[in-house]
Each structure stands twice: as structure tokens, then as C-alpha cells.
Chain A
Amino acid sequence: QITLKESGPTLVRPTETLTLTCTFSGFSLNTYGVGVGWIRQPPGQALEWLAIIYWDSNKRYSPSLESRLTITKDTSKNQVVLTVTNVDPVDTATYFCAHRTNFYDGSGHYPIIDYWGQGALVTVSS
């Protein structure tokens, strides 16, 4: 049974660094094809893909936020950490972490995000 859970501060001051931790169980981030991604959703708005780290330690970032994001993994602790530097009130959002796999259904391989954490609301305010 795959589960993920986000943790971190609920309130961050502008210009500070936000650090979020995703603690997962039921899979290994050493397994071929597996990744953990971060997605955020400002209140009442759409989902925004932020970053992903793969089993082989490859990382990909949203180009619009790349200079402010860092994603790392600790496979021994089953954790993935996302840092966002120099936060602004527009970074106020629910932050989700999610499991990515390259699903094979007999006809082909499909990258899917199939398990999500419950989300963590982060407010940026002075």
C-alpha cells in the first residue's frame, strides 16, 4: 500500500526559505522508473507542476521556478525534500507530493502520477 505525506511549516515569512518533506511508504525510490514529484495549488486555482526526482537521481524543475527550487532524496529515510527560496505571498498554496511510475499495462509504458499525499497548506505572509 503506497502512502505519501507532506510535512513542513504552515506559515513562512516573505524572503525566507520554505522546506517541505515528503515521507513515503510502500515503494522504493531505488526502483527503476519510480519518481516523486511536487505539485502545488494556490487557493481556488489550478494545479502547477514544480519538480520531480527519479530513482536514478535525475531531477527536473519547472522552468519558471527552477532558480528557486531544489529537490533531493534520502532513500534510507524514504523521504524527498523540496526547498523553495525567497518565498513571496504568491507562493501561498497547498503543496502535494506524488508517486510517479512508468506503468506497463500490457500494451505500452505510460508515465502516471498514481498516488498523492493529502497536501500541506503553506501560507506566505508577514
Chain B
Amino acid sequence: DIQMAQSPSSLSASVGDRVTITCRTGQSIGNYLNWYQQKPGKAPKLLIYGTSKLQSGVPSRFRASGSGTDFSLTISSLQPEDFATYYCQQTYSTLYSFGQGTKLEIK
């Protein structure tokens, strides 16, 4: 298994804030890192693939970067609909492991 360390586990912020979530992997995964958003009672939604590429329909306030073992997701100017839980996922190995999630809450 490739270990995934996502931080922070929770985050409080206000509408309009800029927030950053980080994901560190136990070994280099190139740029095979995806980010998902999940709202309560719903399936996850793909936001970012290939480390930094925006999935179709995802607002440009979501930006991501990284390579190797260190990755980040930044949401600039938080909107009310952005309060959710975010997961990173690696697709480098055949076991597509997820991070432990970051719950983004309204301050």
C-alpha cells in the first residue's frame, strides 16, 4: 500500500477565505494524484486529476499542485457550497488509496 497523510483533518474558515489542504504520500507517485469533494450523504465528486488538472465543470477557484510525494489543494475565496470533506487519492499503484480526509467547516 502507498500511505497517504492528509492534513489538517479539519479546518474552520469563513466565506471568502483562502484555504490549503496538503497530502503527502509514502513514496513518489509522479503526478498521479486526484482530489475529491464529498458532501454529507453523497458520493465523492472528482475535482482535480493528474495533480493539477481541473475536472470539467469545476470552478477555477480550486487549484492544486505538487509532485513526487507532496501535494496541495487550494480553494481561493471560499463559497458556501465549498464546505464539505476533501480527499486526496493516488492512482499510481493498483490500490487506489485515499487520504483520511479534511473536513472544511464554516467558522
CB 8 Å contact bits of A30-68 with B (1 = contact, 0 = none)? 000000010100000011110010000000101110000
Q: How far is A112 from B47 in the complex, measured between Cα atoms in Å?
A: 11
Is the beta-carbon distance between A47 and B49 smaller than 8 angstroms?
no
**Contacting pair B99 A113 (CB below 8 A):** no
Contact in complex: B50, A105 (CB < 8 Å): yes
Segment touching A, from B62-70, B76-84, B90-98: B90-98
**B98, A48: Cβ atoms closer than 8 Å:** yes
Contact between B53 and A105, CB atoms less than 8 A apart: yes
Q: How many CB-defined contacts (below 8 Å) exist between A and B?
A: 63
Segment with Cβ contacts to B, from A8-16, A79-87, A115-123: A115-123
Check A118 against B43 for contact (C-beta < 8 Å). yes
The answer to whether B98 and A111 touch across the interface, beta carbons within 8 angstroms, is no
Complex interface: chain A residues within 8 A of B49 (CB): 103, 110, 112
Are B96 and A111 in contact, with the CB atoms below 8 A?
Answer: yes
* Chain B residues near A113 (CB-CB < 8 A): 34, 44, 46, 89, 91, 96
Contact (Cβ within 8 A) B100 A46: yes
